[in-house]
Amino acid sequence: MHKFLFSLSNISLIAVIGSCASLAHSHSNDVPQQGIEGYVYLVSGNQMPSPDAKPVPLKGTSTFLYIYQLTNLSQVQRQGQSAFYYSIQTKFMTKVETGPNGYFKVNLPPGRYSLFVKKGDLFFANWFDKDNNIAPVEVLPVKFSKAEFRIDYDAAY
């Protein structure tokens, strides 16, 4: 009798564990896996090409990446004609911390976004699309868009 109860309780435990695993598995499939992933690199010093010097590999950096809805130059307060901005008038979505090698990965709904880093109190981004949208990245359904962000305000080209 005890062996029968022991076997029955083991079967019940296995059934409960199996159903929990099944629930956890089905839940993870319901969450869309999409967003942006890539690297943030710190670039400084003389970047002029030279026949005598080999190109230096990019160096990832640990920082925060600020993600806003797609932002046009007309939607920021800019410091002169620089790539630094006092304020951004589009919706802030999230910020993500990069690893020591600069890698980041963040889930976002499908849409178009702009990427920024900060230097002190100012936002920085220095590339644009043909419509003057700042550091644009598009997230498509169920895909991670690749992005490479270069912090190069201390570089000379």
Sign of the four-CA dihedral 111, 153, 120, 64 = positive
Every domain of the chain and the residues it spans: 1-31, 35-156
**Per-residue pLDDT for the chain (157 aa), expressed as one digit of tens each?**
555 444 444 444 434 434 444 333 334 455 569 999 999 999 877 677 777 777 778 899 999 999 999 999 999 999 999 999 999 999 999 999 999 999 999 999 999 999 999 999 999 999 999 999 999 999 999 999 999 999 988 766 6
- DSSP-derived letter for residue 14 is H
Task: Report the CATH number of the 35-156 domain.
Answer: 2.60.40.1120
